[in-house]
């Protein structure tokens, strides 16, 4: 089971909008909203893309 993710925290620290993050990750803004809200568990591919964007480990964004 995943705990609450820190995607929104990382995004806001960098001053990146949901729309900009969605473009960088090649997904829709709705996907980012759903991941941040905990309603959608990202695929491994998306989790890896997000960790690369924020230069962190996947575990830093999505804890277990």
Tell me the DSSP string of 1-59: ------HHHHHHHHT--HHHHHHHHTS-HHHHHHHHTTSSPPPHHHHHHHHHHTTS-HH
Report the Cα 53 to chain-centroid distance in Å: 9
pTM for this prediction: 0.89
- Give me the domains of the chain, ranges plus CATH numbers: 7-54 (1.10.260.40)
Q: Does the structure show a pLDDT above 50 at 1? A: no
pLDDT for the residue numbered 63: 78
Q: Does the structure show a pLDDT above 50 at 24? A: yes
pLDDT for the residue numbered 5: 92
Mean pLDDT of the chain: 93
Helices 44-53 and 18-25, axial angle in degrees (round to 10): 120
- Secondary structure letter of residue 62 according to DSSP: S
């Amino acid at each position: 089971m995943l705990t609450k993710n820190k995607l929104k925290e990382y995004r806001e620290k960098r001053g990146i909008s949901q729309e900009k993050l969605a473009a960088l990750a090649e997904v829709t803004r709705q996907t980012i909203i759903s991941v941040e809200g905990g309603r959608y568990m990202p695929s491994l591919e998306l989790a890896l893309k997000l960790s690369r964007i924020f230069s962190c480990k996947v575990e830093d964004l999505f804890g277990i």
